[in-house]
Amino acid sequence: MSGPDRVEGQQPAVAQQDAFTRWVYGRPFFGGLWLTLGGAWILLTMKASVKVVLHVGMQGAAGYLLPTLMVVLGLLILFSPAQRLFYSITGVLISMGSWVTSNMGGFMVGLLLGVVGSVLTFGWLPDQDPRVSRRERRGSAQDAPAADPGPTGSDTHTAQAGIAAGTPQAAR
């Protein structure tokens, strides 16, 4: 987003955002959403006809337990983002476990949604400045005036050499 509303290195002006947008920016929203959708997709594929179901797991209990936990972890990520690292690691393990317990992880769709959502959550960092491309950094470095190197007398070099050697300057 660019324009007059954008301040260098910050999100759009908070006063012009609605409450939902501020809520989304304050948490790993898409990671939690994808993990929740992955669990919901696996639960929906568990209700498929018997001809389509490949493997339900141990009498169906684990087949329903793991996707339910995926949905719960996704909702916990959305509503309690402070513990996102634990939730995301648990979410990726449970998503991978759904491969064995429930229809190959919802025909791999739910498994992939769960893993990608967990990885997005794990990588989310709050209050991080947006990344600046190498081209923009190079352009700003060329536009900036040359920095003053400071005093260039022999006293500066002698003091630095004394500090590096570990001898106090007064002893010289």
- DSSP track, 98-137: HHHHTHHHHHTHHHHHHHHHHHHHHH--TTPPPP--HHHH
pLDDT at 11: 54
Considering the entire predicted model, what is its pTM? Answer: 0.64
Going by pLDDT thresholds of 50, 70 and 90, the confidence category of residue 55 is low
Distance CA 18, CA 14 (A): 8
- Among 18-22, 54-58, 102-106, 116-120, the range with the most confident prediction by mean pLDDT is 116-120
Look at phi and psi of residue 20 and say left if phi exceeds 0, alpha if psi is from -120 to 50, else beta: alpha
Mean pLDDT of the chain: 79
pLDDT at 40: 94
Distance CA 91, CA 147 (A): 50
Distance CA 87, CA 74 (A): 8
Q: Return the number of other C-beta atoms located less than 10 Å from residue 12's C-beta.
A: 15
| Contacts (Cβ under 8 Å, ≥6 apart) of 84 | 27, 28, 31, 77, 121, 122, 124
Average pLDDT, stretch 101-115? Answer: 88
Distance CA 114, CA 88 (A): 9
Among 69-73, 102-106, 122-126, 167-171, name the one with the lowest average pLDDT. Answer: 167-171
Cα angle, residue 87 at apex, residues 84 and 90 outer, rounded to 5°: 145
Distance CA 75, CA 150 (A): 56
Higher pLDDT, 61 or 156: 61
pLDDT at 127: 78
pLDDT at 68: 94
Higher pLDDT, 99 or 161: 99
Higher pLDDT, 139 or 153: 139
pLDDT of 125 above 90: no
Average pLDDT, stretch 126-152? Answer: 75
Average pLDDT, stretch 132-150? Answer: 76
pLDDT of 99 above 90: no
Going by pLDDT thresholds of 50, 70 and 90, the confidence category of residue 104 is confident
